[in-house]
């Protein structure tokens, strides 16, 4: 089933980590195999923030295996070496969990080359790369993941998140949402639905040099949009093309450094409730997600079939 | 599978998965006899007094607790119940099988007022997906917008949304009336079998797709017609009925119903032939 939620504050910052935690926790009955956050925090915009993992948290049906911490240590050393070779300077380093790390990096060259080099290390995956974006995802419900990664203090302008009930692939971090829009800085995607032309699209995109890290159909949306933008399309243009380019049933959110968008398939088969005001847009698979940040009586509505909307901060 | 041509009639039926044996045992069906009205009991219903009023704040209750409390109030004879702070919770006000004035001061989540048979419900807010699914009788009025699958499979009663509704409104509708004051999404009236849908605004693509029967009236633009949905001529009887219904629904004042588009089933779909299964098999 899965649940998605997102919000964007316009003209101000807020405690988006805590707010999104409340929204996703309200949707936990839609799936709590894993939960993911894409948070756009207030930063000075100087350095890249790289969230990456050097190992897996393995759940039911995963094709990955649990490994010893010494393996993670070894991978981290190789990554650090690659960063040095790439000319990237680590400004700040945090190891939140044995397999999960956060680096602040000074780097000004090509992100695709950077990502390919880092991910050439077996078992290493960049979860997000951006000057504002931080993708945090792990097994468990929203509160478990929020507590594990101390997300409730994060202040920013917007955020999207996902509560996952695994259906198309196993329970692990690599299959959890949000997906980073590799190789674009600060692009993330969450999705509720099923894509039926996943393999056809994946083959085409892989032949064009795009990378897939999981076998989760939702990852296709991030890669699909990234490829459109690489060719020069705007985010909204890419999203509109996706309504026919992607087959299946879907409602998805995509966020960039300064915007948040939603798209709904032409059959309107997946739910979405939307609240929109001058200073806040909040949306989720169910109204109770929005009620966790706006308990007072509000006007909400369901976007229609084939609708695409994008809001700026 | 047995050879149908050489089998006896009974064997033929059985070979096709049909059963011709006489059923034995007690029937579950109960027939209403006016002479025994006093002894007739409709399980799960209550005699209520509309002048007896109660307020219920469900802010800290889950849906099971809230519905249990409504049932408890009805069992005490309360005929007018006002629900405070529903806050988008799912499945509130479901399975009410008797007359009741039920007022929600706020919005409901999914499956609100499902399977009701008789109450008059007013929701001063919005409703999520599948509001009033399987409604049998009564009246449900939503003051704001509604989600998808609004009035799915309803069999009777009046279901009114003063705002706009999502996709698949009246899917599998078997009776009753659905009235929408605003716009409606795609696949409105999908596979509807009976009853009427009235939309004062625009409607999305595939209107009345695969509808078996029933009638849809649209006041605004139609995205596209679904498979086997066709336009029909609006009659004076339709106009009279629409005027009466909109008045009861308290919407569409001064709306010119004579300019509405009437949509019915073309009845050309393959499953509308009059062939028996054996004949159809032969035809194939």
CATH of the domain at B277: 2.160.20.60
Q: What is the pLDDT of residue B23?
A: 54
- What is the CB neighbour count within 10 angstroms for residue A68? 10
Asked if A223 contacts A212 with a C-beta cutoff of 8 angstroms, the reply is yes
- Give the span between the Cα atoms of A115 and A113, in whole angstroms: 6
Which residues in chain B are contacts of A286 at CB distance < 8 A? 88, 90, 109-110, 128
Which residues in chain A are contacts of B205 at CB distance < 8 A? 266, 305
For residue A280, which of A304, A302, A298, A256 has the smallest C-alpha distance?
Answer: A298
> What phi and psi values does residue A139 have, to the nearest 5 degrees?
-75, 150
Q: What is the pLDDT of residue B2?
A: 43
Structure tokens at A175: 């299959």
Asked if B136 contacts B116 with a C-beta cutoff of 8 angstroms, the reply is yes
User: DSSP code of B264?
Assistant: E
In this prediction, residue A240 has a pLDDT band, given cuts at 50, 70 and 90, of very high
In terms of residues, how long is chain A? Answer: 313
Among A99-103, A127-131, A194-198, B248-252, the range scoring the smallest mean pLDDT is: B248-252
Asked if A169 contacts A61 with a C-beta cutoff of 8 angstroms, the reply is yes
Provide the domain count of chain B: 1
Q: Please list the residues that pair with B98 across neighbouring strands.
A: none
Asked if B113 contacts B133 with a C-beta cutoff of 8 angstroms, the reply is no
Asked if A27 contacts A3 with a C-beta cutoff of 8 angstroms, the reply is yes
> For chain B, which residues lie within 8 Å of any Cβ of chain A, measuring from their own Cβ?
87-90, 105-107, 109-110, 125-126, 128-129, 144-148, 163-168, 183, 185-187, 204-205
- Give the span between the Cα atoms of A162 and A148, in whole angstroms: 16
Q: What is the pLDDT of residue B1?
A: 43
- What is the CB neighbour count within 10 angstroms for residue A252? 28
CB contact under 8 A, A301 and B187: no
CA A291 to chain CA centroid, nearest Å = 22
Mean pLDDT of A127-133: 96
In angstroms, the separation between the Cα of residue A298 and the nearest Cα of chain B is: 8
In a domain, residue B8? The reply is no
Q: Which of B110, B125, B148 has the CB atom closest to A297's CB atom?
A: B125
Q: What is the pLDDT of residue B3?
A: 47
- Give the span between the Cα atoms of B41 and B254, in whole angstroms: 44
Largest distance between two CA atoms of chain B: 70
Pairing of strands B49-57, B78-84: parallel
For residue A305, which of A259, A245, A243 has the smallest C-alpha distance?
Answer: A243
Q: Order of strands, edge to edge, in the sheet holding A3-9?
A: A133-139, A34-41, A156-164, A3-9, A280-284, A273-276
In angstroms, the separation between the Cα of residue B204 and the nearest Cα of chain A is: 8
Q: Order of strands, edge to edge, in the sheet holding B215-218?
A: B49-57, B78-84, B101-105, B117-123, B137-142, B158-161, B174-180, B194-199, B215-218, B261-265, B229-232
In angstroms, the separation between the Cα of residue A240 and the nearest Cα of chain B is: 17
Q: Which of B128, B186, B205 has the CB atom closest to A273's CB atom?
A: B128
Which residues in chain A are contacts of B88 at CB distance < 8 A? 286-288, 290-291
Q: Is B144 left (phi over 0), alpha (psi -120 to 50) or beta?
A: beta
Residue stretches of chain B with pLDDT short of 50? 1-4, 6
Q: What is the pLDDT of residue B271?
A: 59
- Give the span between the Cα atoms of A234 and A227, in whole angstroms: 11
Which residues in chain B are contacts of A287 at CB distance < 8 A? 88, 107, 109, 126, 128
Which residues in chain A are contacts of B145 at CB distance < 8 A? 299-302
Q: Please list the residues that pair with A310 across neighbouring strands.
A: A261
The pLDDT tens digits for A49-63 are 999 999 998 888 888
For residue B150, which of B200, B125, B118, B185 has the smallest C-alpha distance?
Answer: B185
Q: What is the pLDDT of residue B10?
A: 59
Provide the domain count of chain A: 1
Structure tokens at B78: 């309360």
Residue A132 Cα distances to A111, A185, A282, angstroms = 15, 9, 20
In a domain, residue B177? The reply is yes
> What is the SS3 assignment for A101?
strand
CA B7, B10, B14, B18: dihedral to nearest 10 degrees?
140
Mean pLDDT of A264-275: 93
CA B247, B252, B255, B261 torsion-angle sign:
negative
pLDDT greater than 80 at residue A259: yes
pLDDT greater than 60 at residue A64: yes
Q: Please list the residues that pair with B84 across neighbouring strands.
A: B57, B105
Domain that holds residue A8: 3-312
CB-based contacts of A63-68 (< 8 A; 24+ apart in sequence): A63/A170, A63/A172, A63/A215, A64/A170, A64/A172, A64/A174, A67/A123
Q: What is the pTM of this model?
A: 0.86
A2 catalytic? Reply is yes
- What is the CB neighbour count within 10 angstroms for residue A276? 15
**Strand ranges, E, within chain A:** 3-9, 34-41, 48-53, 89-97, 100-106, 125-130, 133-139, 156-164, 179-180, 188-195, 248-255, 259-264, 273-276, 280-284, 308-312
> What is the SS3 assignment for A263?
strand
> What is the SS3 assignment for A302?
coil
Q: Which of A266, A271, A288 has the CB atom closest to B88's CB atom?
A: A288
Interface contact A243, partner B, CB < 8 A: no
Q: Which of A266, A267, A295 has the CB atom closest to B87's CB atom?
A: A295
For residue A270, which of B277, B168, B80, B242 has the smallest C-alpha distance?
Answer: B168
Q: What is the pLDDT of residue A256?
A: 93
Structure tokens at A51: 């969230």
Q: Which of A267, A271, A291 has the CB atom closest to B88's CB atom?
A: A291
Q: Determine the residue among A287, A298, A303 to mutate to test chain B binding: the one whose Cβ has the most chain B Cβ atoms within 10 Å.
A: A287
Residue A296 Cα distances to A292, B85, B93, B186, angstroms = 10, 9, 20, 30
Counting Cα atoms < 13 Å in the Cβ hemisphere of A86 gives 24
CATH number at residue A234: 3.60.20.10
Structure tokens at B139: 């009246």
Share of chain A above pLDDT 90, in %: 81
In angstroms, the separation between the Cα of residue A142 and the nearest Cα of chain B is: 19
- Give the span between the Cα atoms of A304 and A290, in whole angstroms: 18
Q: What is the pLDDT of residue A210?
A: 87
User: DSSP code of B249?
Assistant: H
CB contact under 8 A, B126 and A301: yes
Domain that holds residue B79: 38-250+257-283
User: DSSP code of B38?
Assistant: G
Interface contact A167, partner B, CB < 8 A: no
Burial of A214-227, coded b for 16+ CB within 10 Å and e otherwise, reads bebbbbbbbbbbbb
Per-window interface: A 259-288 vs B, CB < 8 A: 266-269, 271, 273, 286-288
In a domain, residue B13? The reply is no
């Amino acid at each position: 089933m899965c649940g998605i939620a997102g919000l964007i504050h316009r003209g101000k910052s807020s405690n988006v980590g805590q707010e999104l935690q409340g929204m996703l926790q309200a949707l936990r009955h839609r799936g709590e195999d894993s939960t993911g956050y894409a948070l756009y925090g207030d930063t000075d915009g100087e350095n890249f923030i790289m969230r990456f993992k050097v190992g897996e948290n393995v759940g039911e049906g995963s094709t990955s295996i649990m490994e010893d911490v010494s393996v993670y240590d070894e991978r981290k050393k190789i990554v650090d070496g690659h960063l040095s070779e790439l000319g990237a300077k680590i400004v700040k380093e945090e190891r939140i969990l044995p397999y999960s790390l956060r680096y602040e990096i000074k780097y000004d060259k090509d992100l695709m080359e950077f990502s390919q080099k880092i991910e050439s290390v077996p078992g290493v995956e960049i979860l997000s790369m951006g000057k504002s974006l931080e993708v945090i995802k792990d097994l468990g419900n929203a509160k478990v993941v929020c507590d594990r990664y101390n997300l409730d203090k994060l202040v920013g302008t917007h955020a999207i998140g996902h509560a996952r009930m695994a259906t198309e692939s196993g329970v692990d971090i690599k299959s959890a949402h949000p997906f980073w829009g590799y190789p674009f800085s600060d692009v993330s995607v969450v999705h509720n639905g099923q894509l039926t032309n996943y393999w056809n699209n994946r083959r085409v995109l892989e032949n064009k040099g795009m990378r897939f890290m999981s076998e989760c159909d939702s990852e296709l949306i991030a890669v699909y949009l990234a490829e459109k933008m690489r060719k020069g399309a705007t985010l909204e243009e890419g999203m509109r093309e996706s309504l026919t380019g992607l087959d299946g049933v879907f409602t998805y959110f995509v966020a960039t450094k300064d915007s948040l968008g939603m798209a709904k398939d032409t059959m309107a088969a997946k739910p979405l409730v939307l609240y929109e005001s001058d200073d806040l847009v909040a949306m989720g698979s169910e109204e109770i997600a929005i009620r966790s940040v706006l308990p007072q009586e509000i006007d909400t509505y369901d976007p229609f079939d084939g609708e695409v909307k994008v809001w700026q901060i | 599978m047995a050879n149908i041509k050489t089998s006896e009639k009974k064997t033929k039926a059985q070979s096709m998965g049909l059963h011709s044996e006489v059923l034995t045992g007690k029937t579950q069906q109960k027939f209403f006899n006016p002479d025994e009205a006093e002894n007739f009991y409709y399980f799960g219903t209550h005699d209520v007094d509309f002048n007896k009023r109660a307020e219920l704040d469900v802010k800290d209750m889950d849906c099971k607790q809230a519905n249990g409390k409504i049932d408890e109030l009805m069992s005490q004879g309360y005929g007018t119940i006002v629900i405070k702070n529903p806050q988008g919770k799912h499945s509130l006000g479901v399975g009410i099988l008797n007359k009741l004035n039920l007022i929600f001061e706020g919005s409901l989540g999914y499956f609100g007022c499902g399977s009701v048979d008789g109450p008059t419900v007013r929701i001063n807010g919005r409703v999520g997906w599948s509001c009033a699914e399987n409604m049998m009788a009564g009246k449900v009025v939503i003051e704001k917008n509604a989600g998808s699958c609004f009035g799915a499979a309803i069999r009777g009663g009046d279901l009114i949304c003063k705002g706009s509704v999502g996709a698949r409104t009246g899917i599998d509708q078997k009776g009753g009336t659905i009235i929408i004051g605003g716009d409606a999404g795609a696949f409105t009236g999908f596979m509807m079998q009976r009853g009427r849908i009235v939309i004062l605004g625009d409607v999305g693509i595939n209107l009345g797709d695969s509808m078996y029967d029933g009638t849809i009236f649209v006041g605004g633009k139609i995205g596209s017609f679904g498979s086997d949905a066709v336009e029909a001529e609006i009659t004076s009887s339709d106009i009279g009925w629409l005027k009466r219904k909109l008045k009861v629904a308290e919407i569409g004042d001064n709306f010119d119903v004579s300019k509405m588009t009437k949509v019915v089933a073309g009845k050309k779909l393959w499953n509308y032939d009059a062939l028996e299964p054996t004949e159809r098999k032969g035809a194939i």
